[in-house]
Amino acid sequence: MTLGRTEQLEAFRRMLRIRRFEEEGTRLFKAGKIPAGAFHASIGQEAAIVGACIALRDGDAMTGTHRSHGHPIGKGGELSALMAELMGKATGICKGRGGSMHLADNTVGIISESAIVGGGIPLATGCAMAAKVRRIDQVSLCFFGDGAVNQGTFHESLNMASLWKLPVIYLCENNGYAITTSIARSHGQPDIAKRADAYGMPGVAVDGQDLRAVYEATSAAVARARRGEGPTLIEAKTYRFDEHNVGLFVPGTPYRAPQEVEHYRTQRDPIVLYRKVLLEEGVEEKILISIESEVIASVAAAIAFAESSPMPDPATLYDYMYSTPIGGSQRPAV
């Protein structure tokens, strides 16, 4: 399965949107325009995200992680409400209740961006279970990191998905480090894709810096899920260019060799690599340049929207707690 030209350009555009959104987000965070907290950029991991998302249909469901910005953008989400959420604004996608780690955009099918590592894995599995019960043609794609595969939820959920042949794709964005803890220091057996064998499902490891490789593996997994043949585990070997979160100070000897980081930044940038592929395939450079300009403008517009949006009214503190509000104990405590 290969992408048509329109989808190729859309994939390029979405990767760039993630990159630009996060570069600008990082700048705004450092400038104090995004509330103090944790800002986790997925810069460097764009192909692993978009290569998977581009294999999905609009109606397919997704769950993600604390490194959440890329997922809604990769799935095709609008930037304005996402940027407003980063700033804690009333117009944010989560009305200022979620923030950087939880950019769940349900308009593009995301049901959760879980900052509890591994917490979204059962949710995506249950989402697929509902699709099966409801007999709807929908798959669920579950993003998680290399740290999450050591959580019990990973093992329990893969077992159930395999048992019932649920239409779910488990996509591990393996960036090599759970904060500072490397695979070598935390995994008894370092090949994450191999863990699929234990649960009777295909396990595929791909170059997560190569959008085509991620797309092809995900496409095959999606097709298998739609045929009712069950789940697939995909390990996209990728790399985050920045620190675990912006501003994190890690004392002592660097856990990543500076040469290693430099190598990925200069030789293995997924956007640079894919741009080269597109040019080699005959895409005119001026088309790519126009996409680049368009993305810069879109992010600038999103920032303008977010900056001009109001902060949430404190009187709305209790809104969205319940579908059917309970009153009573929901009175001001101070």
- Site residues for another protein per CB under 8 A: 61, 63, 92-98, 102, 104-107, 111-112, 114, 116, 119, 121-134, 140, 152-153, 156-157, 159-160, 163, 319-324, 326-330
CB of 157 to another protein, least distance (A): 5
Is 241 within 8 Å of 44 (Cβ atoms)?
Answer: yes
For another protein, the closer of residues 136 and 300 by Cβ is 136
Q: How many whole angstroms separate alpha carbon 213 and alpha carbon 51?
A: 8
For another protein, the closer of residues 6 and 329 by Cβ is 329
For another protein, the closer of residues 45 and 140 by Cβ is 140
Nearest to 120 by CA among 163, 172, 85: 172
User: Radius of gyration (Cα) for the chain, nearest Å?
Assistant: 20
CB of 248 to another protein, least distance (A): 23
CB of 147 to another protein, least distance (A): 16
For another protein, the closer of residues 120 and 208 by Cβ is 120
For another protein, the closer of residues 94 and 236 by Cβ is 94
For another protein, the closer of residues 43 and 129 by Cβ is 129
SS3 assignment for 155-216: HHHHHHHHHCCCCEEEEEEECCEECCEECCCCCCCCCHHHHHHHCCCCEEEEECCCHHHHHH
Provide CB contacts within 8 A for 27, sequence distance 6+.
none
For another protein, the closer of residues 13 and 95 by Cβ is 95
CB of 173 to another protein, least distance (A): 20
CB of 131 to another protein, least distance (A): 7
CB of 146 to another protein, least distance (A): 19
Is 218 within 8 Å of 52 (Cβ atoms)?
Answer: yes
Q: How many whole angstroms separate alpha carbon 96 and alpha carbon 138?
A: 29
Nearest to 142 by CA among 61, 205, 72, 216: 61
DSSP 106: G
Is 132 within 8 Å of 54 (Cβ atoms)?
Answer: no
Is 171 within 8 Å of 218 (Cβ atoms)?
Answer: yes
CB of 231 to another protein, least distance (A): 13
For another protein, the closer of residues 83 and 213 by Cβ is 83
DSSP 108: G
CB of 64 to another protein, least distance (A): 12
Q: Which amino acid is at 111?
A: I
Burial (CB count <10 Å: 0-12, 13-18, 19+), residue 327: exposed
Question: 283 by DSSP, 3-state: which?
Answer: coil
Bridge partners of 169, per DSSP, are 141, 232
For another protein, the closer of residues 123 and 288 by Cβ is 123
CB of 320 to another protein, least distance (A): 4
